[in-house]
């Protein structure tokens, strides 16, 4: 139990779990849960892949989530449904290890990552910048267009200091056996649980301060993301 708590604090943020532990030493996952997050480099530091010197803020951008899954919206930079920052954090053994997950797939892009070891992570920044928060309390759900060869988890992370650590609300995403599929994930508290201790914020406050998603897995997994639409929200182009 002591090790599990240490592990939870050590690994936090969108893609943050690197070589923290194996299944034999970490507590087993509940039916719904999540893990860590990340952004660019920090490994197993509790910063969840957050870039050094990252700043925060509140975004005023709202609106409909336009564009079909897997295609660009209006942003000039590579993106999926307007989301430009799909990042491997370097935690765990992944391909790629760090950097952007985006690859061309006509007529737009796909985000691909393979989790090779236990506890791997990847991050998606809602506002295409680290630490910027968005109020999603009026959003009923998000839609994920993906394929996976194993179950995994998506954490919803707030900005600020609360971005760090493994005690985050997470939703279990089912294995699609490698086939492309779509899943609507409701923003209702009942479906979101922490893998470890209770998060510092309530789920309502986490929604109000939403900053990004962290994809987390504790098994080998080949993941592809073709679309991400958050109801009532359009990410700002950078």
Classify residue 152: in a domain, yes or no: yes
CB 119 within 8 A of CB 20: yes
Classify residue 224: in a domain, yes or no: yes
Q: pLDDT by residue (tens digit) across 202-235?
A: 999 999 999 999 999 999 999 999 999 999 999 9
Classify residue 206: in a domain, yes or no: yes
Q: How are the residues of the chain apportioned to helix, strand and coil, as percentages rounded to the nearest 5?
A: 10, 35, 60
**Strand pairing partners for 145?**
182, 227
Q: pLDDT by residue (tens digit) across 28-79?
A: 333 323 333 333 323 322 334 455 444 344 444 333 333 333 334 569 999 9
Average pLDDT score, the chain: 78
Range of the domain at 116: 2-45+57-230
| pTM to 2 decimal places | 0.75
Classify residue 235: in a domain, yes or no: no
Classify residue 51: in a domain, yes or no: no
Terminal C-alpha separation, the chain: 43
- At 13, which CATH number? 2.60.120.430
Classify residue 107: in a domain, yes or no: yes
Q: pLDDT by residue (tens digit) across 130-179?
A: 999 999 999 999 999 999 999 999 999 999 999 988 899 999 999 999 99
Structural domain total, the chain: 1
């Amino acid at each position: 139990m002591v090790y599990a708590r240490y592990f939870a604090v050590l690994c936090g943020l969108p893609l943050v779990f690197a070589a923290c532990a194996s299944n034999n030493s970490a507590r087993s996952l509940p039916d719904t849960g999540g893990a860590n997050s990340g952004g660019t480099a920090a490994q197993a530091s509790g910063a969840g892949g957050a870039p050094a010197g990252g700043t925060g803020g509140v975004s005023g951008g709202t609106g409909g989530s336009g564009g079909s899954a897997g295609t660009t919206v209006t942003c000039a930079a590579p993106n999926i449904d307007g989301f430009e920052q799909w990042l491997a954090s370097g935690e765990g053994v992944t391909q790629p290890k760090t950097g952007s997950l985006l690859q061309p797939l006509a007529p737009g892009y796909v985000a691909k990552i393979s989790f090779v070891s236990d506890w791997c992570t990847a991050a998606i920044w809602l506002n295409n910048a680290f630490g910027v928060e968005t109020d999603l309390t009026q959003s009923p759900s998000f839609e994920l267009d993906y394929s996976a060869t194993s179950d995994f988890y998506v954490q919803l992370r707030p900005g600020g200091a609360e971005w760090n650590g493994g005690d985050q609300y997470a939703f279990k995403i089912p294995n699609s056996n490698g086939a492309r599929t779509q899943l609507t994930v409701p923003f209702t508290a009942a479906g979101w649980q922490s893998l470890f201790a209770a998060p510092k914020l309530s789920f309502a406050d986490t929604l109000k301060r939403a900053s990004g998603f962290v994809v987390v897995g504790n098994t080998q997994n080949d993941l592809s993301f073709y679309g991400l639409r958050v109801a009532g929200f359009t990410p700002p182009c950078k």
